[in-house]
Amino acid sequence: MRIYNFAAGPATLPLEVLEQARDELLDWRDGGMSVMEVSHRSKAFVRVAEQAESDLRELLAVPDGYKVLFLQGGATGQFSAIPLNLAGPDATADYLNTGQWSKKAIGEARRYLNVKVVADEKDSNYTTVPLAANLAFTAAAAYVHYTPNETIGGVEFPYVPETGGVPLVADMSSTILSRPIDVARFGLIYAGAQKNIGPSGLTVVIVRDDLVGRARELTPTVFDYQAMVEAGSMLNTPPTFGWYVAGLVFQWLKRQGGLAAMERHNRAKAARLYDAIDASPYYGNPVDPVCRSWMNVPFTIAKPELEKTFVAEAAAEGLANLEGHRSVGGMRASLYNAMTMEGVEALTAFMAEFERRYG
């Protein structure tokens, strides 16, 4: 039986995609073996890889002049790869700190260059983002880095920062493909796959051509964008199964109507859950309403001593993985593309019933 999986990542995947992967697992394309067992250099797999890239480009309307890479090392690997590829050791990069994932990116970047934290939302306990008008960037910065959606805090930027020509780098791990974006605003976009793209183990990087070919000499070759571009992301063995499943997810997204349809779907799901939270004094969400995440919704209950009961009873009803991140507690429901409105409605119905019994 399938449950509703509200995990933050690895996260729920579209049922149709899982069924297709299952149906062709043992005998992929009449080859008598699974896609996991074929060479990444075989014609059949190269076709999968190329189709996935072309579908991703179509979904995101990636303009000419950008490379799309399918890498390993997670978003965390990119925390290092970005400074190593985009700047020398004496350079300065601007970072916005809006929560735990920005902080991790900052910590890693500090090992490689001068980090200037140009905005830090700690006074709000990371429940908001800086006002666009308050942002001032270093004119000579190598790049500006930010986290459009903080997966743990449930805080999302309602705008794209205007950097005045400095390349903008975005960790889109938990928001990519949730709605259309204007890729031309960004110098580099990266995302771990395990939320809206596919299984863990794959990292997508979309990078503007002028930012490729500048890696420091000591950059590990697997993290050197130029080397990976030249090799079609196959400098070494790529995560073939993850790439294949990502390709199935991209085709599923196209069948759903693309990212404009996803935007409507995701906006409606998030509104349904926030409305339920706001309608009752029993539930709370601390995030500034203008930057509440559509993808990750943290919430509290009036009696925190009942959190474990809430999570356990929800799980018993097929609503899984609602505990908040271990660092913040409370609850969190992640509503990625593959989460259905029925799942959200089952959750809000459970919340109402829990409040009736324990409120």
Classify strands 283-284 and 168-171 as parallel, antiparallel or unpaired: unpaired
Task: Write down the least CB distance from residue 39 to ligand PMP, Å.
Answer: 26
Rounded to whole angstroms, how far apart are CA atoms 101 and 151?
A: 8
151 versus 300: smaller Cβ distance to ligand PMP: 151
Closest by CA to 260, choosing from 178, 166, 151, 172, is 178
Q: Which of 72, 76, 251, 256 binds ligand PMP (CB under 6 A)?
A: 76
Task: Write down the least CB distance from residue 316 to ligand PMP, Å.
Answer: 26
Cα first-last separation, the chain: 31
Q: For residue 195, indicate whether it is catalytic.
A: yes
Binding to ligand PMP by residue 198, rule CB under 6 A? no
Task: Write down the least CB distance from residue 286 to ligand PMP, Å.
Answer: 18
Binding to ligand PMP by residue 75, rule CB under 6 A? yes
Q: Which residues pair with 149 in a beta bridge?
A: 156
Alpha helices in 196-235 (DSSP H): 225-230
Question: Catalytic one among 55, 94, 171, 224?
Answer: 171
Q: Mention every residue, 6+ apart, whose C-beta is less than 8 A from residue 354.
A: 301, 310, 313, 314
Rounded to whole angstroms, how far apart are CA atoms 303 and 8?
A: 24
Task: Write down the least CB distance from residue 107 to ligand PMP, Å.
Answer: 12
CA distances (Å), 243 to each of 186, 218, 240, in order?
23, 28, 5
Alpha helices in the chain (DSSP H): 15-23, 43-60, 74-86, 100-109, 225-230, 240-256, 258-279, 307-316, 341-358
Cβ atoms of 74 and 146 closer than 8 Å: no
Rounded to whole angstroms, how far apart are CA atoms 57 and 50?
A: 11
**Given the structure tokens 């975005």, which residue do they identify?**
170
Question: Catalytic one among 28, 55, 67, 101?
Answer: 101
Binding to ligand PMP by residue 240, rule CB under 6 A? no
Q: Which of 161, 192, 198, 330 binds ligand PMP (CB under 6 A)?
A: 192
Binding to ligand PMP by residue 190, rule CB under 6 A? no
320 versus 346: smaller Cβ distance to ligand PMP: 320
Question: Catalytic one among 67, 103, 195, 269?
Answer: 195
Contact code string over 131-170 relative to ligand PMP, x by CB under 6 A: ----------------x---x-------------------
Binding to ligand PMP by residue 101, rule CB under 6 A? yes
Q: For residue 254, indicate whether it is catalytic.
A: no
Q: For residue 243, indicate whether it is catalytic.
A: no
Which of these segments, 46-54, 71-79, 269-277, 348-356, binds ligand PMP (CB under 6 A)?
Answer: 71-79
DSSP category for residue 306: G
Task: Write down the least CB distance from residue 79 to ligand PMP, Å.
Answer: 8
Q: Which of 55, 171, 224, 323 binds ligand PMP (CB under 6 A)?
A: 171
Alpha helices in 15-69 (DSSP H): 15-23, 43-60
14 versus 242: smaller Cβ distance to ligand PMP: 242
**Given the structure tokens 């063995």, which residue do they identify?**
237
Task: Write down the least CB distance from residue 320 to ligand PMP, Å.
Answer: 17
293 versus 300: smaller Cβ distance to ligand PMP: 293
What are the catalytic residues?
101, 171, 195
Q: Which residues bind to ligand PMP, rule: CB under 6 A?
A: 9, 74-76, 101, 147, 151, 171, 173-174, 192
